[in-house]
Amino acid sequence: MRNETSVWLIGALLIVSFLLVIGLRNQRSKAKRIRRQFREMEGEEERMFHFLHDLGLAIGREPTDGAISRIIVEGVLKVVGACGGAIYHESSEPGQLIPAYLSKECPPLIFVSQEIFEKAKLDPRTLESHLRLARVAVGDGVIGCGFTMPEALHIPDAEDRDNLHMMVSPLRYAGKDIGVLAVARRKDSEDFSHNDFAVFRSVAEQSSFAIGNARVHRDANEKREIEGELKNAREVQRVLLPQSDPKLAGFRIHGTNLPARIISGDYYDYIELPDGKLGVVIADVSGKGVSAGLLMAMCRSLLRAVAHENASPSSALTAVNRLLFPDILEDMFISMIFGILDPADGSLVLARAGHEPALLFRKSSGLVENIKPKGLAIGIDAGNVFERVTQDEKVFLETGDCVLLFTDGVKEALDSNELEFGLERLSEVFGDAAQLGAEHVVKRVLADVNSFTDNGPQIDDVTIVAIEKR
């Protein structure tokens, strides 16, 4: 009996020992597997850190979309262990996506025709070239649909001729769709794990922020550069305007120019002419900004060149029109009024090229008159009609008389109810101020316009020249 009990106990001990050995081996295997997974996670975490570090440095260098897309794709391939990847950005053409970057030897992530594959057998560069140039319609295939998806998607069996495992995510910044990020493994490789997908989603979010942030910084810097260039252009334009009032016996003349933007399309000028005469011009180029400023500079130079060769203002404007017409765009023109003052007899000869009328204050009557010689705006006609229509008008100024030249930015200034300052109001202000001289006229008109608009934003360039007979 004792022998049987001993045998049973020994057998039980052996079984328990065997089970303990198996359990210990299983625990050791599990521990090894956990340590291996932990090492893999540590490696993945380190690769993710390097990816984010490189991405941050790239943003600081303000890269192009192509450069930052390369950093993102190459980085995510290392982080999740994919064989290829790509970023597609929204094209300027609505409804189309274009490849911003494809990794080297990236398998086709879009549909490729059999014809392209056949050509690629003869020249492998054919397929690569096709993939780098092919546009993808939004909603077409994995890439096109990825652009419109609400969030990232893991596709274990992508319906593609290469049978890929894929992860695709839309790229969005500040609520705006900017592109698609996609990575792939071939079907003969292990599929992406849940952890790989979680990491990929995080990378996609960081990539969206990086691309959007880089664009914002790049746009801001470009804007600052443009503003700097415009300010430099404005300083050059200031040099083209009179730096001081002209000296002319028997007259006092004062002018000013206030641009609505950095670059003005208005200008005024004084031109010394033979026999002690003085040319006074004020002009307004249609439109605003750089194009108007450039046309203004051309007009100023041409008028200065032809004024000495043409005895009358109308003939000078005709010459300017013939020279400028071939270079003026169809939707642009120049309104101008050009006058010649003669101190010998106190006369003013005016020609008007589609410009606002000049205002004349007569001290003897205390009334304001309009001087409106006929004329066509520069750039409307090649020359024959312009020459036939444009005429001179001569007035003689007496002591105390005053002439006001202005651009439509004065007359068309708006109040809070969008009512215009108007020619009638301007005439009243001018009549009240004219008796105190040219400088007072300019200051008074500007002050009344500002008061009328309640110091609101200036919507157009304002240029004023006052001529007082002493």
Cα 411 from Cα 421, distance rounded (Å) = 5
pLDDT digits (tens, 9 = 90+) for 427-465: 999 999 999 999 999 999 999 999 999 887 888 899 999
Do residues 373 and 350 touch, judged by C-beta distance below 8 A?
yes
Cα 200 from Cα 194, distance rounded (Å) = 10
Residue 216 has pLDDT above 80, yes or no: yes
pLDDT at 25: 65
Indicate the burial class of 140 (C-beta count within 10 angstroms; 0-12, 13-18, 19 or more): middle
Least confident range from 15-29, 38-52, 145-159: namely: 38-52
pLDDT digits (tens, 9 = 90+) for 294-344: 888 899 999 999 999 988 999 999 999 999 999 888 888 999 999 999 999
Please enumerate in sequence order all residues whose Cβ is within 8 A of that of 243, keeping only pairs 6 or more positions apart, or say none: none
| Tokens coding 231 | 């300010």
35-219 CATH: 3.30.450.40
Helix (H) or strand (E) holding 420: none
Q: Which pairing describes strands 358-362 and 266-272: parallel, antiparallel, or unpaired? A: unpaired
> Would you tell me how many other CB atoms lie within 10 Å of the CB of residue 105?
9
| Ranges in the chain annotated CATH 3.60.40.10 | 233-469
Q: Rounded mean pLDDT of 419-434?
A: 96
Q: At what angle do helices 289-307 and 194-240 cross, to 10 degrees?
A: 20
| Ranges in the chain annotated CATH 3.30.450.40 | 35-219
CATH architecture of 233-469: 4-Layer Sandwich (3.60)
pLDDT digits (tens, 9 = 90+) for 136-162: 999 988 899 999 899 999 988 655 545
Confidence grade of residue 42 (pLDDT, cut at 50, 70, 90): very low
Percent of the chain clearing pLDDT 90 (strictly above) = 49
pTM of the model: 0.64
pLDDT digits (tens, 9 = 90+) for 156-194: 865 554 578 899 999 999 888 999 999 999 888 888 888
Confidence grade of residue 247 (pLDDT, cut at 50, 70, 90): very high
Q: At what angle do helices 114-122 and 125-133 cross, to 10 degrees?
A: 140
Helix (H) or strand (E) holding 223: helix 194-240
Residue 61 has pLDDT above 80, yes or no: no
pLDDT at 161: 46
